[in-house]
Amino acid sequence: MKPPGEEENQRLGTVLLNTLAREMRLWRAPALKNGCIQGSDISPTRYHEVIVWLREMSSVFQFSSETFALGVCVLNSLLATVKTQLKYLKCMAITSLILAAKINEEDEVIASVKDLLEQSRCKFSTAEILRMERVILNKLHWDLYIATPMDFIHIFHGLLMSRHPQLMLAGSQKRPCLQASLWTRQVQHCMACHQLWQFKGSILALAIITLELERLTPDWFSVFTDLLRKAQIESTEFICCKEIVDEYLTGLELSLPTNAVYILDAASMLAFRGYDVQEGDGDGNKKTAVRAKRAEKGDQDMDDFYDGFWCLYDEDVSVKTGNHRLQDAQKQISPCPPLRPSSSQ
């Protein structure tokens, strides 16, 4: 991919300023009081569960990550504006996602409200969703064009490619899109964390990107300060956000390198398969050795691996049910062959 020129860099700067202005004007976040969202009986745990569910529904509906992010921002703005109860939270969430889809998605992508409810297995009626739509639109003054963390992820990613293209190539095997894909997943997880409510999308996006920059280059600070200045973010607020994001993502094990590779460990595989040789089968040891040798050479068709361990060699486990050793082993082993990290990253 050819890095954008100076003209494109200026355009991105203008887009960033406009997006920051929208964020300043429309961004709202719920506040906690007595262990619940202020003005409701919704706990952070319940909120987290609904956001995770909403992400699953967004995937089922084949909506974009931008639509999911906007749906969460609409829901947050509503929770910060009105008093509500837990029993209405799911209806508010799915309606916020549907409204976001009407803004972001093409018409052919969006199914009817009835079909969406059937896919989500919600118990709400179409009339209830339409009534909730009117409530949300009225409470938010029909202005749902809220700047989301995903908007800033795209803008910052473009600026990095423009100003520091070598970072993109160094960190993703000459495929710049991989960083944006990782950041997108991390943003989606972070939007379910109530501790990150207090931070605007621009701060959250920059915190996620900076954690990646620290891994990519020793000169990350100069790159980070350039983005911090462009985004007009206070350093103290940013540092607090970054620490929370780092702790949260580490807990979710999302900070693995994007090029992590796992390979089949042939030695462990041989031991793993050792019990399969039945007594009296003269060819059993020979077959196992041949299979291990093929695994070492990498000749085994790995497509069959995903059909399950026993299907890897087209063997029927049922014929071995009389073998007590097999039954005991099946209780102790994982259905997946042993894996080990690749020595070269």
Domain count, the chain: 3
Per the structure block, which two tokens stand in for 2? 């050819």
Residue 340 has pLDDT above 50, yes or no: no
How far is the CA of 216 from the CAs of 175, 262, 295, in angstroms? 14, 21, 34
Confidence of residue 166 (pLDDT cuts 50, 70, 90): low
Boundary-marking domain end, from 230, 251, 272:
251
- The last residue of one of the domains, among 116, 139, 162, is 139
Task: Count Cβ neighbours within 10 Å for each residue of 166-197 and write b for 16 or more, e otherwise.
Answer: ebbeebbeeebeebbebbbebbbbbbbbbebb
Instruction: Report CA-CA distances (Å) from 274 to 279, 283, 287, 323.
Output: 12, 13, 11, 14
Q: Do 43 and 36 meet the contact criterion of CB atoms below 8 Å apart?
A: yes
Q: Domain of 114: which CATH number?
A: 1.10.472.10
Residue 45 confidence (pLDDT) above 50: yes
- Output DSSP code: residue 225: H
Position 129 scores a pLDDT of 94
- The answer as to whether 11 is a domain residue is no
Alpha-carbon distances of 196 from 23, 182, 242, 267, rounded to whole Å = 16, 18, 10, 45
Does one domain contain both 131 and 159?
no
Residue 246 lies in a domain: yes
Residues 46 and 112 in one domain: yes
Does a structural domain hold residue 268?
A: yes
CA separation for the pair 167, 216 (Å, rounded): 7
Q: Give the per-residue pLDDT at 8.
A: 76
Among 205, 220, 251, identify where a domain stops: 251
The reply to whether 35 and 133 lie within a common domain is yes
Q: Is the model more confident about 254 or about 108?
A: 108
Assess if residue 18 is contained within a domain: no
Residue whose pair of structure tokens reads 């639509």 in the numeric block: 67
Could you tell me if 33 and 119 lie in one domain? yes
List, in sequence order, the alpha helices (H) in 217-274: 220-231, 235-251, 266-272
DSSP state of 195: G
- The amino acid sitting at 11 is R
266 and 299 together in one domain: yes
Tell me the HSE value of 248 on the side-chain side, using a 13 A CA sphere.
20
Q: Is residue 292 part of a domain?
A: yes
Looking at the structure, tell me whether residues 122 and 156 fall in a common domain: no
Asked whether residue 135 falls in the same domain as residue 32, the answer is yes
* pLDDT, tens digit (0-9, with 9 covering 90-100), for 307-324: 332 333 344 444 344 444
The per-residue pLDDT for 301 is 39
Least confident of 64-73, 83-92, 192-201, 291-300: 291-300
CA end-to-end span of the chain: 23
Residues 103 and 165 in one domain: no
Tell me how far the alpha carbon of residue 284 is from its chain's centroid.
45
Residue 67 falls inside a structural domain? yes
Q: At what angle do helices 89-104 and 65-81 cross, to 10 degrees?
A: 130
Domain range for 337: 262-341
Contact 98, 124 (CB under 8 A): no
Say if residue 247 is in the same domain as residue 276.
no
| Residue 284, in any domain of the structure | yes
Residue-level pLDDT at 169: 58
